[in-house]
Structure 1
């Protein structure tokens, strides 16, 4: 869909919501350059799951990150270049761990659960110390695994950590059932945030975002079109991009969740509809919407 055909329904409501995130919805300074907007590393993409990293990295570059690296949990790179997205730089995960210029990290999208992934997660936690880090998908499953005591303490000490579980992942992290999480979602997200000293994002209808001090945000954007493979990877890329651009973790998570859902609403209202909405369609719609709301 051409971006000119997007429909902006209820603009007054959208502008009012966007005003809650002042560090996200503001015009760029004329003297900006790519270094102004940070460098994001997205780590994941085991064999057969490269698309997860591609979706997250693509979403990050569409959200205005200065530079984006896609780091694959594979011995050799699966692509010479990502088709139609040559702007994204490619590396193996191990190569990215050696870089010293990363502003923020996203880890877990399609990373896998094998021995290589188990060894990779603590390395990422250590390497990302002092920089914002978002853990999603397989990284969350590994965080809840047998080595949880050591990893939990490392995660707690990070200081700028975001966790983005769906209900089943949240249940594993908390040691309860998925049904228990869903029965009291607010208590679950607040407990998760306090347990890991992290901003916690509990995905689902009316996604919740909690800070370690108990502050909790309930998101109102989004629709059933987001129930599609890769939607969560796009959300990780959007939030990661905001982190790399210097937005603090709580605001980045809240704004990223809202923008991700609002982009799906724009697609629904512009004729794409909810059935068959593709995760890859969310990123360009979110870019269009952010630019509209930046005035």
Structure 2
């Protein structure tokens, strides 16, 4: 499914109205009807239910006025609180406000303390609150009155249904500057907006419903829309297929260059994840000083000792054997737990320039190229980069806070700058392609905020590439499967979930997708 920014959604609406001839008031009518349907299912009926609507002066408020009329027709007792006065409302919203008033629906303009007393009474006795204050047009700071209304809604302890997105959530980034409506359910119109999918906005969205308001499908699926949401239905169609007469040599060969003294777990997790996600053969190349440790840790993974400059530390002498091993593999995962020695960083850069196999670069591999990003753009094969926000900050010279302020923009810019597929990890991982296409992942959970989870992801992506997927497809499939494995593991509880739990759940995640 496509995801639309605020400006893209406005362009879609404008095209529907001007080029297709669909009157804006028809779209507003459809939006209001969908809101009523969502509330009716949430409340198990509307007859004699008390519905309180908080409306702004724009089109979001207009949707609320349409909903008020249909709520009333279905037997609900409706009260609308308008932030402003009716004379300030324009266009289709003004028409629907007028109709609601003609129907006898109580519309209270909030202008003084006595009106705020009415707000407090209404929220105390209502069955449901409708947030129709602001939609995709919201930017920056909330007014004091808006903050006060949001506080009233959030403090009422009643079900809240938000129209399009919760008021206070930035449509394009999900950022919440001061406050936002804590919705029980959000009915987003036409297409989801990034703000209801990305945190912190996603945490205010509640259950998300995407409403069909009659926009032409051609406008909702156009190639000009570069944001997408990853779903199980999309991923199950692209996973590697294994034929009935397969043997290990046909299922992909992964080389992992990872690990150093004290960080052997990262190498083990990456290597095992490549196997668990279907690779036929996995070889872990490590410094000879920790090779014996890895042979004990790993049973199914093959290991190869590399010359070292100190115990567990790789230098340039390891380049030649790595290139020989890489020549026999289909994908190379580079970096987890590799260490930050100056010669190790130099080795990573030389590998990047010499290996013509697809690379998945993580952790210390990313740190090694942070100051030489041009090497990524000139790599012999398209790299997949898997930074967490801290690693991304080092790669592009921003702070972690700046990275998290607009994750889609940052991931997209990095993918273009480095000529790489960028997987920006975190709550709602972002996958960005060099051509600007972006995918927002919806699988995964807070229990995966644990050391080693990213190492598992690196192994999964590497395995999918080795099994024949393009780097682009392997990145989105790997991200979704990794998150789904975390969701399966979390059925035993979030607290205490480990990277090993995610690793062991990868086969179950793959099976569940194959059954769809």
Q: TM-score, normalised by structure 2?
A: 0.50
Alignment partner, residue 44 of structure 1: 258
Residue 505 of structure 2 corresponds to residue 285 of structure 1: yes
- 1:79 aligns to what SS in structure 2? helix
1:23 aligns with 2:250: no
Corresponding position of 2:286: 72
String of CA shifts for 1:189-239, please: whole Å, max 9, x gaps: 001100110000111111000000000000011111111110110110111
The DSSP-based 3-state class of the residue aligned with 2:413 is: helix
Task: Note if contact 2:260-2:290 (Cα within 8 Å) is conserved in structure 1.
Answer: no
Alignment of 1:159-198 (within 5 A): 159-198=381-420
Q: 1:294 maps to what in 2?
A: 514
- Secondary structure at the counterpart of residue 274 of structure 1: coil
Q: How many Å apart are 1:25 and its aligned residue?
A: 5.7
1:87-166 correspondence runs (5 A):
87-93=300-306, 94=318, 95-99=321-325, 100-129=327-356, 131-145=357-371, 148=372, 152-158=373-379, 159-166=381-388
Root-mean-square deviation (CA, aligned residues, Å) is 1.8
Contact 2:240 2:467 in 1 (8 A): no
> 3-state DSSP class of the match of 2:344?
helix
8 A contact 1:25–1:290 mirrored in 2: no
Structure-2 separation of matches of 1:157 and 1:37: 29
- Secondary structure (helix, strand or coil) at the match of 1:169 reads helix
Provide Cα deviations, 1:152-171, integer angstroms capped at 9, x if missing partner: 33321223210000111111
CA distance in 2, matches of 1:181, 1:128: 30
Are residue 225 (structure 1) and residue 444 (structure 2) matched? no
TM-score by length of 1: 0.87
- Contact 1:45/1:53 (<8 A) preserved: yes
Residues 18 and 25 in structure 1, CA contact (< 8 A), matched pair in contact too:
no
Shift of 1:258: 0.8
With over 3 angstroms needed to count, the CA separation of the structure-2 counterparts of 1:76 and 1:232, relative to structure 1, is closer
**Hey, what's the Cα distance between the residues in 2 that align with 1:110 and 1:216?**
28
Q: How does 1:209-220 map to 2 (within 5 A)?
A: 209-220=431-442
Partners of 1:65 and 1:78 lie apart in 2 by: 23
Change (3 A) 1:64 1:239: same
Give the count of matched residue pairs.
Answer: 271
CA distance in 2, matches of 1:109, 1:196: 20
CA contact (8 A) 2:359 2:383 kept: yes
Q: What is residue 3 of structure 1 aligned with on the other side? A: none
* Equivalent position of 2:123 in the other structure: none
* Maintained 8 Å contact 1:73/1:111: no
